[in-house]
Amino acid sequence: MAILKFRGIYLEDFEQLEAKDPDTRYLVLNPDGSVYGEYIGDKLIGIRPIDFEPRIGDLELETARLDAEVIRVEQKADTHIEDLNNPHGVNSGQVGAYNKQEMNSKLEKLEIDGGFL
Protein backbone atom coordinates (compact mmCIF):
# COMPACT_ATOMS: atom_id res chain seq x y z
CA MET A 1 0.00 0.00 0.00
CA ALA A 2 1.33 3.38 -0.99
CA ILE A 3 1.64 6.27 1.38
CA LEU A 4 -1.16 8.72 0.76
CA LYS A 5 -0.40 12.27 -0.28
CA PHE A 6 -2.74 15.03 0.84
CA ARG A 7 -3.86 17.83 -1.43
CA GLY A 8 -6.30 20.70 -0.97
CA ILE A 9 -7.95 21.68 -4.24
CA TYR A 10 -10.88 23.79 -5.36
CA LEU A 11 -13.84 21.94 -6.88
CA GLU A 12 -13.43 23.55 -10.32
CA ASP A 13 -9.79 22.41 -10.49
CA PHE A 14 -10.64 18.96 -9.14
CA GLU A 15 -13.30 18.47 -11.80
CA GLN A 16 -10.80 19.40 -14.52
CA LEU A 17 -8.23 16.81 -13.43
CA GLU A 18 -8.16 14.16 -16.15
CA ALA A 19 -6.89 11.54 -13.71
CA LYS A 20 -7.20 11.54 -9.97
CA ASP A 21 -4.20 9.93 -8.26
CA PRO A 22 -5.47 6.89 -6.27
CA ASP A 23 -2.67 7.50 -3.74
CA THR A 24 -3.80 11.05 -3.01
CA ARG A 25 -6.38 12.19 -0.51
CA TYR A 26 -8.07 15.32 -1.88
CA LEU A 27 -9.77 17.88 0.30
CA VAL A 28 -12.08 19.50 -2.27
CA LEU A 29 -13.20 23.04 -1.51
CA ASN A 30 -16.12 25.16 -2.70
CA PRO A 31 -15.28 28.61 -4.13
CA ASP A 32 -16.04 30.16 -0.73
CA GLY A 33 -13.46 27.87 0.93
CA SER A 34 -15.99 25.57 2.60
CA VAL A 35 -15.45 21.84 2.22
CA TYR A 36 -17.22 20.21 -0.72
CA GLY A 37 -15.98 16.68 0.05
CA GLU A 38 -13.03 14.43 0.66
CA TYR A 39 -11.82 11.93 -1.92
CA ILE A 40 -9.17 9.27 -2.26
CA GLY A 41 -8.49 9.28 -5.97
CA ASP A 42 -11.91 9.68 -7.55
CA LYS A 43 -13.80 7.92 -4.71
CA LEU A 44 -15.81 10.10 -2.34
CA ILE A 45 -14.93 9.18 1.24
CA GLY A 46 -16.67 11.90 3.20
CA ILE A 47 -18.49 15.17 3.28
CA ARG A 48 -18.12 17.70 6.01
CA PRO A 49 -21.26 19.11 7.62
CA ILE A 50 -22.78 21.99 5.67
CA ASP A 51 -24.42 24.96 7.28
CA PHE A 52 -28.06 24.50 6.25
CA GLU A 53 -29.42 27.35 8.38
CA PRO A 54 -29.75 29.83 5.46
CA ARG A 55 -31.68 27.23 3.47
CA ILE A 56 -34.25 26.37 6.15
CA GLY A 57 -36.38 29.40 5.29
CA ASP A 58 -36.41 28.39 1.62
CA LEU A 59 -37.44 24.85 2.56
CA GLU A 60 -40.23 26.13 4.79
CA LEU A 61 -41.57 28.30 1.95
CA GLU A 62 -41.45 25.37 -0.49
CA THR A 63 -43.20 23.10 2.03
CA ALA A 64 -45.99 25.65 2.48
CA ARG A 65 -46.33 26.02 -1.31
CA LEU A 66 -46.56 22.24 -1.80
CA ASP A 67 -49.07 21.88 1.05
CA ALA A 68 -51.28 24.50 -0.60
CA GLU A 69 -50.97 22.75 -3.95
CA VAL A 70 -52.03 19.41 -2.42
CA ILE A 71 -55.11 21.06 -0.89
CA ARG A 72 -55.96 22.72 -4.24
CA VAL A 73 -55.69 19.42 -6.15
CA GLU A 74 -57.74 17.54 -3.53
CA GLN A 75 -60.49 20.19 -3.70
CA LYS A 76 -60.50 20.06 -7.49
CA ALA A 77 -60.78 16.25 -7.47
CA ASP A 78 -63.59 16.33 -4.90
CA THR A 79 -65.50 18.94 -6.94
CA HIS A 80 -65.10 16.84 -10.10
CA ILE A 81 -66.31 13.64 -8.40
CA GLU A 82 -69.35 15.39 -6.87
CA ASP A 83 -70.34 16.93 -10.23
CA LEU A 84 -72.89 14.52 -11.71
CA ASN A 85 -72.87 16.37 -15.05
CA ASN A 86 -69.84 14.29 -15.95
CA PRO A 87 -69.30 10.56 -16.55
CA HIS A 88 -69.32 9.76 -12.82
CA GLY A 89 -73.12 9.98 -12.80
CA VAL A 90 -73.88 8.28 -16.13
CA ASN A 91 -75.13 4.70 -16.37
CA SER A 92 -75.17 2.24 -19.29
CA GLY A 93 -78.85 2.83 -20.04
CA GLN A 94 -78.32 6.56 -20.49
CA VAL A 95 -75.80 6.00 -23.27
CA GLY A 96 -77.51 3.00 -24.89
CA ALA A 97 -74.96 0.43 -23.74
CA TYR A 98 -75.72 -3.05 -22.37
CA ASN A 99 -75.88 -3.36 -18.61
CA LYS A 100 -73.90 -6.11 -16.84
CA GLN A 101 -76.74 -8.66 -16.93
CA GLU A 102 -77.39 -8.07 -20.67
CA MET A 103 -73.68 -8.34 -21.45
CA ASN A 104 -73.28 -11.59 -19.48
CA SER A 105 -76.31 -13.05 -21.29
CA LYS A 106 -74.83 -12.18 -24.71
CA LEU A 107 -71.43 -13.63 -23.74
CA GLU A 108 -73.05 -16.87 -22.55
CA LYS A 109 -74.91 -17.18 -25.88
CA LEU A 110 -71.65 -16.70 -27.78
CA GLU A 111 -69.99 -19.45 -25.73
CA ILE A 112 -72.91 -21.82 -26.36
CA ASP A 113 -72.99 -21.00 -30.10
CA GLY A 114 -69.34 -21.84 -30.64
CA GLY A 115 -67.28 -19.07 -29.22
CA PHE A 116 -65.97 -15.75 -30.31
CA LEU A 117 -65.21 -14.72 -33.87
pLDDT in tens, 52-89: 555 667 778 888 888 899 999 999 988 887 877 766 66
pLDDT in tens, 94-110: 888 888 888 888 888 87
Has residue 91 got a pLDDT over 90?
no
Query: In which order are the strands placed within the sheet that holds 24-29?
Result: 5-10, 24-29, 35-40, 43-46
Which amino acid is it at 17?
A: L
Give CA–CA dist 67/80, Å, rounded.
20
Query: Which of 44, 39, 52, 53 minimizes the C-alpha distance to 5?
Result: 39
